[in-house]
């Protein structure tokens, strides 16, 4: 009687074919913690690892852009303004079902200098993991939106600030 034993090359082939699946499982597991833990990962990723940051947002937060389009569009801008998140203090975190809201009081540095701001993150749980759906940024006085100051527009095609101009009639 003959006993069939799998060859070592067959076992190696199966293990090699499973390798691409393991990182995917690890990323999915990495994304199942609390909404606050996810935001902590976000602030250490955004402005540094643009491709990873793009995977951490909903399409809505990327303004309908694909991940690749978002990276192509925003990488040069974030590098130009020298964006750097310096950390944040947790103000509140609420999770309810597949939605969450996390509020941080944070310091962000850029070519304009350091700014203290409140960041209100709206998150959605998609396929068991959190994604940033919307971020509302308010100045440290919590009274006016940070966007209320006129800010120069960035021309992504030329990789420079656009000149101020009056709208055409």
- Strand, coil or helix: what is 37? helix
CATH number at residue 125: 3.10.450.50
- Mean pLDDT for the stretch of residues 39-68: 97
Print the domain residue range for 75.
26-150
Q: With respect to residue 57, please indicate whether it lies within any of the assigned structural domains.
A: yes
Q: Provide the domain count of the chain.
A: 1
> Of all residues in the chain, what percent carry a pLDDT higher than 90?
63
Q: With respect to residue 114, please indicate whether it lies within any of the assigned structural domains.
A: yes
H-assigned helices in the chain: 8-18, 21-30, 35-45, 50-55, 67-80
The whole-angstrom separation of Cα 8 and Cα 15 is: 11
Q: With respect to residue 55, please indicate whether it lies within any of the assigned structural domains.
A: yes
What's the confidence (pLDDT) of residue 47? 94
CA-based end-to-end distance of the chain: 93
What's the confidence (pLDDT) of residue 140? 77
Give the tens place of pLDDT for each residue, 72-94.
Answer: 999 999 999 999 999 999 999 99
Q: With respect to residue 158, please indicate whether it lies within any of the assigned structural domains.
A: no
Q: With respect to residue 167, please indicate whether it lies within any of the assigned structural domains.
A: no
pTM: 0.67
Q: With respect to residue 18, please indicate whether it lies within any of the assigned structural domains.
A: no
Higher confidence at residue 1 or residue 28? Answer: 1
Q: With respect to residue 60, please indicate whether it lies within any of the assigned structural domains.
A: yes
Give the tens place of pLDDT for each residue, 85-144.
Answer: 999 999 999 999 999 999 999 999 999 999 999 999 999 999 999 999 999 999 876 554
Q: What is the mean pLDDT of the chain?
A: 78
Q: With respect to residue 116, please indicate whether it lies within any of the assigned structural domains.
A: yes
């Amino acid at each position: 009687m003959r006993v069939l034993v799998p060859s070592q090359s067959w076992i190696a082939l199966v293990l090699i074919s499973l390798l691409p699946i393991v990182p995917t499982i690890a990323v999915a597991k990495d994304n199942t913690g609390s909404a606050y833990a996810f935001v902590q990962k976000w602030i250490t990723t955004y402005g540094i690892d643009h491709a990873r940051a793009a995977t951490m947002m909903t399409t809505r937060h990327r303004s309908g852009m694909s991940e690749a389009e978002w990276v192509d569009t925003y990488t040069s801008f974030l590098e130009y303004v020298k964006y750097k998140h310096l950390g944040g203090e947790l103000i509140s975190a609420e999770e309810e079902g597949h939605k969450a809201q996390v509020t941080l009081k944070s310091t962000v540095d850029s070519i304009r200098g350091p700014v203290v701001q409140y960041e209100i993150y709206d998150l959605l749980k998609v396929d068991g993991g959190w994604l940033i759906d919307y971020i509302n940024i308010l100045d440290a006085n919590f009274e006016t939106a940070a966007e209320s100051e006129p800010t120069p527009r960035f021309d992504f095609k030329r990789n420079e600030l656009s000149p101020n101009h009056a709208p055409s009639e």
